[in-house]
């Protein structure tokens, strides 16, 4: 079974631009979560999607949005980029998103905002 795939691997943008990150979950997994990792901050929850519906959201501004398609693939969008958005963005999938399910993470997209 292929793992969680995130594209692109690296991205360089300038302030004010917008960016779209993509995530393909493990086949059969219907829950996709997004996390932001910054040095010293650990992983911070952005949002979770299941069957094309956002079920849970973290404490991020509205510039961060996402969506999920019928094939469970998910995209995350960040508009009006700020320097502080530079981070590793990780996508994780699980079968149903139930609490006792472990998350399977992709390798992440490293976003640099200049």
Interacting residues with other proteins (CB under 8 A): 4, 31, 33, 35, 40-45, 48, 50, 55-56, 58, 90, 92, 94, 97-100, 102-108
* Ramachandran class of 26: left when φ > 0, alpha when ψ lies in -120 to 50, beta otherwise: beta
The residue among 81 and 90 lying less far from other proteins, judged by its C-beta, is 90
CB of residue 97 to other proteins, shortest distance in Å: 4
The residue among 80 and 112 lying less far from other proteins, judged by its C-beta, is 112
CB of residue 25 to other proteins, shortest distance in Å: 12
The residue among 55 and 63 lying less far from other proteins, judged by its C-beta, is 55
The residue among 41 and 70 lying less far from other proteins, judged by its C-beta, is 41
CB of residue 83 to other proteins, shortest distance in Å: 20
């Amino acid at each position: 079974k292929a793992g969680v795939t995130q594209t692109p691997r690296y991205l360089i943008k300038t302030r004010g631009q917008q960016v779209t990150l993509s995530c393909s979950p493990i086949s059969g997994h219907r829950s996709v979560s997004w996390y932001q990792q910054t040095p010293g901050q650990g992983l911070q929850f952005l949002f979770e999607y299941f069957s094309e519906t956002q079920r849970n959201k973290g404490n991020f501004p509205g510039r961060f949005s996402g969506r999920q398609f019928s094939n469970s693939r998910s995209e995350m969008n960040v508009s009006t980029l700020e320097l502080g958005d530079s981070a590793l963005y990780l996508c994780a999938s699980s079968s149903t998103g139930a609490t006792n399910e472990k998350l399977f993470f992709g390798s992440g997209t490293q976003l640099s905002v200049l």
